Chains A and B, each alone.
Chain A
């Protein structure tokens, strides 16, 4: 089990058994656990307009296939592949394309001189442990707002890699993008959120 796993494999086995037995609370648990990340993947692939529908269809397919779930991957990965496949089919039908360059602003070149050196000093953040920084509720709100303004592909890459700890190879399969493009998405998302925290630190 890695650091990011929310459900241990033992708990997951138990949850699957309860689902197969038709326990309604298990259905509540699985939906509240995975709806967010499934929406994130669907939005990244098919866009905002069709994501809810794609996720709903994925849930129905997953629930019907549940008794056949063999546990070769985690429940989360299995669900993400189902929603990913549904979203990819929808993309083909709708003939939609999204660009990696949606909403991207690089680190401003004004920060560097003609030789590539920084003009200004970068100072260490005071008390930069995540716990200390996040004790500030205002900053938490700012981070969440900024996250929600990121393009869907960047949000999904960040969610899958930094928050859920899913392996790069798996993310490439789920989002249907190359590893180098996932790296680009991660770089852009982290740089944007860094900039938002940096501004907050400077103003407070």
Chain B
């Protein structure tokens, strides 16, 4: 019988459809009877949507304008 802790450990594999059938069914039945875990599942789904929409980025210090200029100059002088 699966418990809340199992849902917490497997919630992302459950969402991504990456679980063996028996485990998937076991977690599904736990979710049917446990509103806490249903809410937790929904929160993780919301988290993924928030990540997808907010698109957090790496902290980079590159001067992209200067890099593009440099690459353009290299391309122009490169023998194609």
Binding site for B on A (CB under 8 A): 4, 19, 22, 24, 27-28, 30-32, 35-36, 39-40, 43, 52, 55-56, 59-60, 63-64, 66-67, 107, 109, 111-112, 115-118, 120-125, 128-131, 133-134, 140, 143-144, 147-148, 155, 158-159, 162-163, 183, 186-187, 190-191, 193-194, 197-198
Given contacts A36-B60, A122-B39, A197-B43, 4 further A-B contacts (CB under 8 A): A124-B39, A131-B53, A134-B54, A159-B58
Interface 0/1 of B39-80, CB less than 8 Å to A: 110111011111111111111111011011101101110101
Residue ranges of B at the interface with A (Cβ–Cβ < 8 Å): 3-6, 8-9, 11-13, 16, 18, 36-37, 39-40, 42-44, 46-62, 64-65, 67-69, 71-72, 74-76, 78, 80
Contact A64 B78 (CB under 8 A): yes
A-B contact pairs, 25 of them (CB 8 A): A28-B64, A30-B68, A36-B57, A39-B62, A59-B71, A60-B74, A63-B74, A64-B75, A122-B37, A122-B40, A123-B39, A125-B43, A125-B46, A129-B46, A129-B49, A130-B50, A143-B50, A143-B56, A158-B51, A163-B55, A187-B11, A187-B12, A190-B51, A197-B47, A197-B50
